[in-house]
Amino acid sequence: MRHNEKSEGPSVRVLRVGEQVRHVLSEILQRGDVHDDVLATHPVSVTEVRMSPDLRHATVFVKPLLGRDEEAVLKALRTNTAYLQREVAHRIRMKYAAKLKFLADESFDEASHIDQLLRDPKVARDLGGGEGEIQD
């Protein structure tokens, strides 16, 4: 690829660092290293981390297991952001410590909604399912 061509999407390095940050955060949260009552009682899944091209900002998508108390979990993560940033910087050697921004992962809800729509008898019939059932 030429240097003057724009690539589509993030580079391999950006993706790799994002995955490393995701693993570190998952490990910290799973082990209970954050001393927070909400995080201690709500298991959290780190579903994705999107890094900025300069690796200085990380958008962290999280989902509380069982989907309960999402706002309380996000508030607890945001309260403990400084600690989590220090831990990530300590465990991953980078020039700059990435600033973490926590957001709720809505992709599971969207997928569930689409699945529900596809199982609707009218939609299944329109898709050619015949009797209103989806062919697996």
Range(s) of the domain holding residue 67: 12-126
Per-residue pLDDT of the chain (136 residues; tens, 9 = 90+): 445 556 578 899 999 999 999 999 999 999 989 999 999 999 999 999 999 999 999 999 999 987 778 999 999 999 999 999 999 999 998 888 899 999 998 765 555 656 666 676 776 777 775 554 555 5
Domain membership of residue 77 (yes or no) is yes
Number of domains within the chain:
1
DSSP single-letter state for residue 67:
G
Q: Which residues pair with 51 in a beta bridge?
A: 58
Q: What is the CATH number of the domain that holds 112?
A: 3.30.300.20
Token code pair at residue 86:
């220090």
Alpha helix positions (H), the chain: 12-31, 37-41, 70-79, 81-91, 107-118, 121-126
Domain membership of residue 32 (yes or no) is yes
How confident is the model at residue 108, as a pLDDT? Answer: 59
How confident is the model at residue 132, as a pLDDT? Answer: 45
Instruction: Report the Cα–Cα distance between both ends of the chain, in Å, rounded.
Output: 41
